[in-house]
Structure 1
């Protein structure tokens, strides 16, 4: 991904599981002091009534939040923390600065920063594969949701 303009990039922070956006207020403030805008959406999978909501809904939210900034020609730097690395990674597909420029569209994701995040080493690899084919003991995979015990 290559920057499309000289305007300071916008940071879009994709939160970790069980981390409401307020957990990142200090980071957002520090970025603002350096002259950077930072948005931190509330992910659909976050909260107490989220059964059946998947990473796909979170990916869609990331793209939806970024789109108005793309349309303004802004470059968006994704920061995926913990679980947030999953929707951050898949949100970039077709939405990079170069991908969008090839279609005659402005803006796009210029880079992704992984902050102690899940980042699949290969396209199509899922979280279970990343854990070596078995869920760790601390992760309760009781259906229809996953929780840390």
Structure 2
């Protein structure tokens, strides 16, 4: 049986470059990896709602499914809201019910937001913008990117901070338009030393999935908000286990 295709979805302010080590390691283990920068990031004409980001992810997942592949979608951080909004009906079970082959078998959230329909990132954060980023209309911009990389050497942290881009304010304030985690199994990588989304907040979201009747399993690792940079080996092995390998 062929291995599932992997879709990596970068979070707010980030490009797919942050996934480069994880991507190459997955590819060396026989996986096909798809990723792209979401329209909300680094855009001179930033989106006003989630539509462009949702469409972008749906196009990427459709490409990964192809003629009938199984797919694992792995969003990071804010991209969890896009994943929940975009993938209703894209699950393998839901597609088979419509006579279509392949589909998303699992969503592997990496310290990512999982919210009910109608809830925005700002809502999930309590309606308060943290002091490490700011609203400079029409964007949000990161003022202290070290919160993402607190377990990286200083030189590496400064490099990745220099790569952060603008992000559409409107999309962070826009409510989720779906909750695909109610129908697609979820695996969650909880990062215990995360300074951007504290561990307790990740736990609350994971528990919310359980309370809503979703299928979720949580694995904990002691890393920052960017484990794909500080511990790519752990992330790759976790994704491989999600894909059904025994590691």
Q: CA shift at 1:83, angstroms?
A: 1.8
Pairwise mapping of residues 85-104 of structure 1 onto structure 2 (< 5 A)?
Answer: 85-104=80-99
Pairwise mapping of residues 1-149 of structure 1 onto structure 2 (< 5 A)?
Answer: 6-120=1-115, 122-149=116-143
Is this contact kept in 2: 1:55–1:86, CA < 8 A? Answer: no
Q: CA shift at 1:22, angstroms?
A: 1.9
Shift of the 48–22 alpha-carbon distance from structure 1 to 2, 3 Å rule, reads: same
**Paired positions, count:** 143
Distance (Å, rounded) in 1 between the aligned partners of 2:35 and 2:104:
15
Distance (Å, rounded) in 2 between the aligned partners of 1:70 and 1:32:
17
Q: 1 or 2 for the larger relative contact order (CA 8 Å, sep ≥6)?
A: 1
Q: Alignment partner of 1:77: what SS? A: strand
Q: CA shift at 1:127, angstroms?
A: 1.5
Distance (Å, rounded) in 2 between the aligned partners of 1:29 and 1:52:
31
Distance (Å, rounded) in 2 between the aligned partners of 1:61 and 1:140:
26
Q: CA shift at 1:45, angstroms?
A: 1.7
TM-score scaled by structure 1? 0.84
Which residue of the partner structure matches residue 214 of structure 2? none
Is this contact kept in 1: 2:39–2:46, CA < 8 A? Answer: no
TM-score scaled by structure 2? 0.53
* Greater fraction of residues in helix: 2
The unaligned stretches of length 5 or more in structure 1 are 1-5
Q: CA shift at 1:129, angstroms?
A: 1.9
